């Protein structure tokens, strides 16, 4: 990956980070805590400033106090006053309603003056931490005020999902963005790619002959990817109504994980080499026709129930959710990647809210050996399982069979677990620390290229189209359960089950 180097050959991180949506939830919960930890780890350069753009009428002191409180609440490290003092010197609050196009030239002047003080070389990161309907307006404002591209300096545009609501709208949006920013300056964030174990998938596969040599349809029986949450939609009912689990989790996080698990080894570790291999996986996903989906997908919506001993309301009773909502809060499905490595192997994917367990895991189940020597009188042989635990536990679990030392002939599964509990592996600043740092370094490996997003939408569109035509009897699972019964039947009819190890 090409990175911008300074005259000493070091990657030059000097920049002004402009956050549109400076008073929003994302900035408070993720971005500022992440920036705080980057300062703590001494990863931000001296020539660096943060300009938070917000509509609210606030003094800079009030704004900084709000940020201090959020860091206190959400940062993985406790506030250390010296670090905070460094960060707060970098932060500037700029009140501006970005729907007012005239204001962009004033912002430009403001940034130029600040640049003179900070000596950040004209480099800019524009982070759109706002609702997606404002992406176009802001990018247009950056363009007309001549802020987007500057000779002799770099500019990067950062956007969060949802990137469009289907392939058509995503294309339209992308066309607007690339009129202004070149593809290699657009960083599309999928925060799952910032998680430790997601980055570890390639290392585990391509640095261990024991795994890579059996990572195919000759040895693997099936692969399960489960991202389950105890949380409901909370206050995000309005957003969730237009997204559902399909757009919220499958189109992005799950598909990204699937591509990393199934991709071929890239020829090198350059950003584009990796992205190209990931794209090939999406292109190999078998045609998702309505006939196929009829038997291979299950949608669900949570009803009332109990989570951690507390009664909770059903999805239709959540804030800003209509009483007859047909939005899915759960999806389970089987799909195939039709290439030489994976032909015939099912990938089972599952995600849902208000389930009995919050966890993100990839389970690789290996094929059984013939029951000739052992297991003859046992009901079932326990398969070899390799579990990549993403959260809340982080690490690898492996199950293999050994003789039981306490009996004459029993075979027992031995469970080797190198994972450790990490309460901070949720949707937390950690992932953002890594991602923001990579943006400054100009390393786009952990971000999605447009053709990947396009291919992911092509898959998701089939599912969404099918989902919209289908009448579902919702709610169909209790909060606190592990989803609709049909999600279990989906595997049972193949003689398999979801693993919870």
Closer Cβ to ligand BG6, 167 or 360, answer by number: 360
Q: Note whether 427 binds ligand BG6 by CB under 6 A.
A: yes
Nearer to ligand BG6, 12 or 229 (CB): 229
Phi and psi at 103, nearest 5°, equal -70, -15
Among candidate residues 253, 336, 462, 500, the one labeled active-site is 253
C-alpha pair distances (Å), 408 with each of 339, 405, 411, 428: 44, 8, 9, 49
Helix-strand-coil percent breakdown of the chain, rounded to 5? 40, 20, 40
- Indicate whether 413 belongs to the interface with ligand BG6 (CB under 6 A): no
Which x/- pattern over 232-261 shows residues binding ligand BG6 (rule: CB under 6 A)? Answer: ----------------x-------------
* CB nearer ligand BG6, residue 147 or residue 246: 246
Asked if residue 328 binds ligand BG6 (CB under 6 A), the reply is: no
Buried/exposed code over 287-310 (b: 16+ C-beta within 10 A; e: otherwise): ebeeebbeebbbbbbbbbbebeee
The answer to whether residue 435 forms part of the interface with ligand BG6 (CB under 6 A) is: no
Rounded to whole angstroms, the Cα distance separating 181 from 278 reads 23
142 touches 32 (CB < 8 A): no
Nearer to ligand BG6 among residue 346 and residue 352 (C-beta)? 352
Measured from the CB of residue 163, what is the shortest distance to ligand BG6 in angstroms? 12
Smallest separation, CB 377 to ligand BG6 (Å): 43
Alpha helices in 151-236 (DSSP H): 167-180, 196-206, 209-212
Q: Give residues with Cβ within 8 angstroms of 3, minimum separation 6.
A: 11, 441, 442, 443
The sign one gets for the Cα dihedral 271, 273, 274, 276 is positive
- Residue 444 CB, nearest distance to ligand BG6 (Å)? 19
Compute how many residues bind ligand BG6; rule: CB under 6 A: 6
The residue at minimum Cβ distance from ligand BG6 is: 427
229 lies in the site for ligand BG6, by CB under 6 A: yes
Integer angstrom CA distances of residue 373 from 285, 377, 447:
38, 10, 49
Please tell me whether residue 360 binds ligand BG6 under the rule CB under 6 A: yes
Of 24, 238, 426, 465, the one binding ligand BG6 (CB under 6 A) is 426
Is 253 in the active site? yes
* Contacts to ligand BG6 by CB under 6 A: 229, 231, 248, 360, 426-427
Q: Which residues are catalytic?
A: 253
């Amino acid at each position: 990956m090409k990175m911008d180097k300074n005259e000493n050959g070091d990657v030059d991180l000097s920049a002004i980070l402009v956050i549109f949506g400076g008073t929003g939830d994302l900035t408070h919960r993720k971005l500022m805590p992440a920036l705080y930890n980057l300062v703590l780890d001494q990863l931000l350069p001296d020539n660096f400033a943060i300009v938070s753009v917000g509509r609210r009428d606030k003094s800079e002191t009030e704004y900084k106090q709000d940020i201090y409180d959020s860091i206190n609440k959400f940062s993985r490290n406790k506030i250390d006053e010296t670090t905070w003092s460094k960060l707060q010197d970098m932060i500037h609050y700029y009140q501006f309603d970005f729907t007012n196009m005239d204001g962009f030239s004033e912002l430009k002047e403001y940034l130029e003056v600040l640049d003179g003080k900070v000596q950040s070389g004209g480099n800019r990161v524009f982070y759109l931490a706002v609702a997606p309907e404002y992406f176009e307006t802001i990018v247009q404002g950056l363009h007309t005020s001549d802020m987007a591209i500057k000779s002799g300096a770099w500019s990067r545009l950062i956007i969060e999902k949802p990137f469009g609501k289907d392939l058509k709208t995503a294309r339209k949006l992308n066309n607007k963005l690339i009129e202004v920013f070149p593809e290699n300056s657009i960083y599309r964030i999928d925060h799952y790619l910032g998680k430790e174990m997601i980055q570890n998938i390639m290392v585990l596969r391509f640095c261990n002959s024991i795994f890579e040599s059996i990572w195919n349809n000759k040895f693997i029986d099936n692969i399960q990817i489960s991202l389950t949450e105890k949380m409901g939609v909370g206050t995000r009912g309005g957003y969730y109504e237009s997204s559902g689990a399909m757009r919220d989790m499958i189109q992005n996080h799950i598909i990204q994980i699937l591509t990393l698990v199934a991709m071929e080894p890239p020829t090198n570790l350059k950003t584009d080499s990796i992205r190209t291999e990931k794209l090939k996986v999406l292109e190999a996903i078998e045609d998702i026709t309505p006939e196929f989906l009829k038997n291979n997908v299950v949608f669900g919506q949570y009803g009332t129930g109990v989570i951690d001993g507390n009664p909770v309301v059903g999805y239709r009773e959540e804030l800003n959710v209509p009483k007859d909502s047909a939005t899915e809060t759960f999806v389970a499905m089987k799909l195939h990647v039709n290439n030489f490595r994976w032909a015939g192997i099912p990938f089972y994917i599952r995600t849902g809210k208000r389930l009995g367990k919050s966890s993100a895991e990839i389970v690789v189940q290996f094929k059984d050996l013939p029951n000739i020597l052992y297991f003859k009188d046992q009901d079932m042989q326990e398969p070899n399982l390799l579990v990549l635990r993403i959260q809340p536990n982080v690490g690898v679990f492996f199950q293999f069979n050994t003789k039981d030392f306490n009996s004459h002939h029993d075979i027992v599964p031995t469970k080797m677990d190198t994972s450790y509990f990490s309460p901070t592996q949720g949707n937390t600043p950690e992932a953002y620390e890594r991602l923001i740092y990579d943006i400054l370094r100009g390393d786009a490996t952990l971000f999605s290229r447009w053709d990947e997003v396009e291919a992911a939408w092509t898959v998701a569109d089939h599912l969404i189209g099918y989902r919209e035509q289908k009448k579902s009897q919702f709610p169909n699972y209790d909060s606190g359960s592990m989803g609709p019964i049909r999600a279990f039947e989906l595997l049972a009819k193949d003689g398999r089950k979801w693993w919870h190890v």
